[in-house]
Structure 1
Amino acid sequence: MVPTLTRVLADGAAVLVLGLAVVPWLDTARYRAELAGRSTNMMAVAAWVWLAAELIRLVTTAADTAAVAVGDLGVRTAIEFAVSTTAGRADLICVVAALLVVAVTLAARNPGASLVVAGIAALGTAARTLSGHLSESALGGLAVTLHALAAALWCGALAAIALVVDRRGQWARVLPRFSQLSLWSVLVLLVGGVVSTAVVIGSPAELIGTGHGRLLLAKIVVTAVLMALAWHNRSRWLPSARGHRVSAEVSTRRSDTELALMAVALTLAAALAVTG
């Protein structure tokens, strides 16, 4: 349970950092600096949470690998785990990425800095896939990395919009650009998901006959529901928001519904990564 919780916390914080870094670029140039300023404080908090979760994960995983209690884990053992194992190197990259994001958010508050943070967060998200069950397959590894990045961009951007966009005019400007971004993200997510599933699942029976398969099946179902809801919102909510015919409060509530499903999908993905 603890590994899954720390993975959910770390992944969720990283996804939010990525989204908060991207959201200023979904607005027009005239208002971009305003959104960048509003998102930076939240980004800094999310970065600290990300860093703490990654450090906890690194230490607990090192202790588990060494078959010792966390309190008995030596510094040398932890360092050896971090530099000598695939899982340790992935954890270390994520720790460094989170630390760099903390440093950047403390040093600068502008759209340019947001792009730097977005790149670092994407690197941290990609690094996590190095220790997954598909890391030994070139095709599977590429597919799951693209899948993870697309999911992080889609979920993170929507979460960031819900947090920092609070006026009808902002929703009218930002939501159409997010819709285009999410469309491409979903396409990449689907392709990556199909390929990675084909690599890891030997037969459809494994989706029901194994614990890992059932988790994967649950994630597929939740993702399908989420995509159906997103398509419904794209056809109904988007035109209303673009035409200033829906309030900011209604837009926030609709985004919260999508985010609740995204949180379930993220939890299932974390459980898959831990059990894989």
Structure 2
Amino acid sequence: MTKHRGLVAGASALTVLAGVAVVWILARPDGPEPSAWVDAFALAAVSTLFGLGMLALVDAEPAPGTVAVVAALWGATSLISAWLQVAERAGAGPLDVGLRDMATGVESGLPVIVCVLGALAVLGWSYAAASGARSGGVNAYVVGAIAAVGILVSSVTGHAGQSSWVPLVVGVHAIAAAWWVGTLAALVLTVRGRGGWARSLPVFSERAIVVVGVLTVTGVIAGVAQIGIGSQWWDTGYGRVLVAKVVALGCAVAVAWWHRTTWLAKARRHGASEKDSIRHAGYELALLTLVLGLAAGLAATGV
């Protein structure tokens, strides 16, 4: 099944890029900065890490090696994004940015510092877990907590940070989105066999109903708070991207509901093979990672 998991990962990477590309098209001439392409991968990585850390909520357990790979990807993409942002603000090429520039040129050092230190802390957890000093279960919640901090500090900067209460709504929205896409990705990476999906998928589906509700409500509130209600939803690049994000999220909800009436029922009675479950999860993940790409591009787009 490694091949099928690889196909899902590859397709998800492509849809992340597609999401940023849609932002670039819809938001012109105020499109996202080049660093948004890397930000999208960092967001996908930290969301997956959050899902891995919260797997105990759906009766599954992450492998330390998988956690380590995802944490390394999160840390690397966070550093690359910060490097590109410094170059953009300095009006220089990426190759002209040195370590001193990196130390002094990041507009806000908190997000990148938290992300890099968080990734290193998770790598330390993975080493300890693989060495037997820790095991999965409740200890894996440490990974989820670290990833949650990284998600929050990244989501509440920029546009969200311009209000006293909008950051709270945006933070809840970001955590809900990360749980949905991250846990589904973690299930693909972790769960084995018909029995594993029969055990974890029903629990995931039940919890996802509440999460999707929170995601929808907070998304509407945050969108209206940031640009109001009116023609700016289609007359501005930011508004058009918001509309695209709503449409993509609506499609993901529709697919998730279809899965709840078909795939879930089959998996619950051990009627869905591991290959079938990975394939269905891949369909849903493709839409969700498209939304992540839109979200990353939107965060780097002027209101």
TM-score (norm 2): 0.82
- Aligned runs of 1:56-95 on 2, under 5 Å? 56-82=80-106, 85=107, 87-95=108-116
Name stretches of at least 5 consecutive residues in structure 2 with no aligned partner.
Answer: 1-32
Residue 7 (str. 1) matches residue 39 (str. 2): yes
Residue 17 (str. 1) matches residue 49 (str. 2): yes
Tell me, in whole angstroms, the C-alpha distance in 2 between the residues paired with 1:130 and 1:66.
Answer: 24
The structure 1 residue matched to 2:275, chosen from 249, 258, 269, is 249
Tell me, in whole angstroms, the C-alpha distance in 2 between the residues paired with 1:70 and 1:103.
Answer: 30
Residue 96 (str. 1) matches residue 117 (str. 2): yes
Q: CA deviation at 1:7?
A: 0.6
Give the root-mean-square deviation of aligned CA atoms. Answer: 1.8
From the two aligned structures, give the one with the greater helix fraction: 1
Q: CA deviation at 1:130?
A: 2.9
Tell me, in whole angstroms, the C-alpha distance in 1 between the residues paired with 2:95 and 2:287.
Answer: 37
The structure 1 residue matched to 2:263, chosen from 234, 237, 240, is 237
Which residue of structure 1 lines up, in the alignment, with residue 285 of structure 2? Answer: 259
More moved, 64-73 vs 118-127: 64-73
Q: CA deviation at 1:74?
A: 4.5
Q: Given that residues 104 and 113 in structure 1 are in contact (C-alpha distance below 8 angstroms), is that contact kept between their aligned partners in structure 2?
A: no
Q: CA deviation at 1:201?
A: 1.6
Q: Given that residues 62 and 88 in structure 1 are in contact (C-alpha distance below 8 angstroms), is that contact kept between their aligned partners in structure 2?
A: no
More moved, 50-59 vs 92-101: 92-101
Tell me, in whole angstroms, the C-alpha distance in 1 between the residues paired with 2:228 and 2:255.
Answer: 30
Which residue of structure 2 lines up, in the alignment, with residue 223 of structure 1? Answer: 249
- Aligned runs of 1:26-175 on 2, under 5 Å? 26-27=58-59, 32=60, 35-36=61-62, 39-82=63-106, 85=107, 87-109=108-130, 110-111=135-136, 112-175=138-201
Q: Secondary structure at the match of 2:165?
A: helix
Q: Secondary structure at the match of 2:271?
A: coil
Q: Deviations over 1:159-182 (max 9, x none)?
A: 111122121111111011111221
Q: Percent identity?
A: 37
Tell me, in whole angstroms, the C-alpha distance in 1 between the residues paired with 2:97 and 2:272.
Answer: 55
Higher relative contact order (CA 8 A, sep 6+): 2
Tell me, in whole angstroms, the C-alpha distance in 1 between the residues paired with 2:211 and 2:38.
Answer: 25
| Structure 1 pair 246–69 and aligned structure 2 pair: CA distance change class (3 A) | closer
The structure 2 residue matched to 1:209, chosen from 229, 235, 243, is 235
The structure 1 residue matched to 2:217, chosen from 191, 201, 207, is 191
Q: CA deviation at 1:275?
A: 1.0
**Alignment coverage as a number of residue pairs:** 265
More moved, 69-78 vs 102-111: 69-78
Q: Given that residues 101 and 117 in structure 1 are in contact (C-alpha distance below 8 angstroms), is that contact kept between their aligned partners in structure 2?
A: yes
Would you identify which runs of 4 or more consecutive aligned residues in structure 1 move more than 6 Å?
Answer: none
